[in-house]
Amino acid sequence: MTNSTPLTRISDVRGFDTAEYRARVARAQAMMADKGLSALLLSTEPEVRYFTGYLTRFWESPARPWFLVVPAAGDPVAVIPSIGAELMRQSWISDIRTWVAPDLEDDGVSLLAATLDEIGGDRIGVPSGHETHLRMPLTDYTRLGGLLAKGTLTDDAGITRALRLIKSPAEIAKIRTACAIAGRAFARVPEIASEGVPLDEVFRAFQMLCLQEGADWVPYLAGGTGQDGYGDVISPASSAPLARGDIMMLDTGVIWDGYYSDFDRNFSVGAPSDVAARAHTTLMEATEAGLQAARPGNTAADIFHAMDQVCTGGMGVSDTGRLGHGLGMQLTEWPSFIAGDLTVIEEGMVLTLEPGVETIGGHMMVHEEDIVITATGAEFLSPRAGSELPVI
């Protein structure tokens, strides 16, 4: 339950052993057999990377689709634009089929159809549930379905979600590393933020701190500022200077070797008001309640209720919609801490505890920490915030 004997330490080893990818494929194939699927067809960055290790920021360009086919038996086959072949050849994947993209007549669709006809079998699972999307044009997806000689495209029965939900020790080590980087950056916020500094300057300087402390890149930073809290938690920075009595919140997701941290910190500009100080105390108590509930056998809903009891007395969430979520190759992953999510907590899940409280009309404060589920409970991956609201 404490941070004194961590399940994993921070890592400086990039990538994963091929054995880890083979184990992921084997687990996928066991689930596919159980669900009656003959292949998985994957098209998004984390799904392709999960099975291949293919790590590039080039997904930022929407021009080209990328595909990975995981057959019922045997190794995955990459069906990708030729611009990515050199990098994919550095992965453990040996069967790499390419086309010169973009191709306005046939942007990989017939090559993908031929590959699926060869190795995909008759029931091809495509991630289709909550938090998924298809990263290929709808027109091409329809065309793909028509080109298949025998296979049918169907839901993946939640297999990719179920696989990614439980992190390996090597994955957890990467997330712990990302959390340590963000933690060091947060500890240096007094160097860059004080009364009179515009919030957008704080945002720029904070991203530089994250990079200085070892982040590969900083995909996410949001925050807010205002008297006794802020109106929302997803806004970019304004150029308004920090004012005495403001609470400034920074919420960042930094990447180390393809894995995210995601936690925030609140700071008081000058001594906090009683309202803000009390809100911080409540958030710390709610975090502790969430931590106590975060153990194998409980559900995501149990963790929600534990925190919500402290935050609202059990009134349920506000506009933010949830009190935390999964974390890993994406800033937010399955599950959600809401009353309706009955996902059973298991060892190896990485989760964020993210309680929020209303302070004054229209303003709130939100706190967030990252944890990993152990055999008997949970431990912090983020360096846990102190009981006092830090003053800048």
Q: Is 194 in the site for a second copy (CB under 8 A)?
A: no
Classify strands 378-380 and 369-373 as parallel, antiparallel or unpaired: antiparallel
CB of 376 to a second copy, least distance (A): 28
User: In angstroms, what is the minimal distance from the CB of 253 to a second copy?
Assistant: 7
Name the token pair of 197.
């500094």
Smallest separation (angstroms) from a second copy to the CB of 74? 26
Task: Give the tokens for residue 381.
Answer: 């991956």
Q: Pick one of 330, 352, 374, 382: the residue that binds a second copy (CB under 8 A).
A: 330
Contact flag: residue 129 with a second copy (CB under 8 A): yes
- Residue matched to tokens 């890993």: 328
Among 47, 171, 216, 302, binds a second copy (CB under 8 A): 216
| Pick from 107, 59, 100: nearest CA to 81 | 100
Q: Which stretch binds a second copy (CB under 8 A): 23-31, 144-152, 227-235, 345-353?
A: 227-235
Beta bridge partners of 123: 152
Q: How far is the CB of 270 from a second copy (least distance, A)?
A: 25
Whole-number Å distance between alpha carbons of 24 and 229 = 43
Site for a second copy in 95-114 (CB under 8 A): 98, 100-105, 107
Smaller CB separation from a second copy, 302 or 379:
302
C-alpha 273 chain-centroid distance: 33
CB of 248 to a second copy, least distance (A): 17
Nearer to a second copy, 264 or 379 (CB): 264
Look at the alpha carbons of 21, 27, 29, 32 in this order and tell me if their dihedral is positive or negative.
negative
From candidates 1, 170, 222, 360, binder to a second copy by CB under 8 A: 222
| Residue from 20, 75, 95, 131 in contact with a second copy (CB under 8 A) | 131
Looking at residue 267, its amino acid is F
Residues between 61 and 90 that touch a second copy (CB under 8 A): 61-64, 81-87
- As measured in angstroms, the least distance from the Cβ of 26 to a second copy is 26
Considering only 73, 152, 212, 240, the residue that binds a second copy (CB under 8 A) is 212
Among positions 268-327, residues that touch a second copy (CB under 8 A) are 317, 319-322, 325
Among 37, 159, 189, 221, binds a second copy (CB under 8 A): 221
Task: For residue 357, give every residue at least 6 positions away whose Cβ sits within 8 Å of its Cβ, in sequence order, or none.
Answer: 279, 282, 283, 286, 311, 312, 364, 365
- The count of chain residues that interact with a second copy, using the rule CB under 8 A, is 76
Q: Of 78, 254, 306, 331, which one interacts with a second copy (CB under 8 A)?
A: 331
Closest CA to 113 of 76, 172, 72, 69: 69
Question: What is the chain's Cα-based Rg?
Answer: 22
By the rule CB under 8 A, 3 interacts with a second copy: no
Does position 56 interact with a second copy (CB under 8 A)? The reply is yes
Any idea of the CA torsion for 325, 218, 387, 302, to the nearest 10 degrees? 0
- Whose Cβ is closer to a second copy: residue 114's or residue 211's? 211
Tell me how far apart the alpha carbons of residues 391 and 269 are, in angstroms, rounded to a whole number: 6
Task: Give the residues across from 325 on adjacent strands.
Answer: 336, 352
- 36 near a second copy (CB under 8 A): no
Residues 132-171 that bind a second copy (CB under 8 A): 132-140, 155
Question: To 10 degrees, the CA torsion angle through 278, 279, 282, 283?
Answer: -140
Nearer to a second copy, 315 or 376 (CB): 315
Task: Please give the DSSP secondary-structure letter assigned to residue 157.
Answer: T
Q: Which of 19, 8, 326 is nearest to 171 (CA)?
A: 8
Among 121, 151, 253, 355, which residue interacts with a second copy (rule: CB under 8 A)? 253
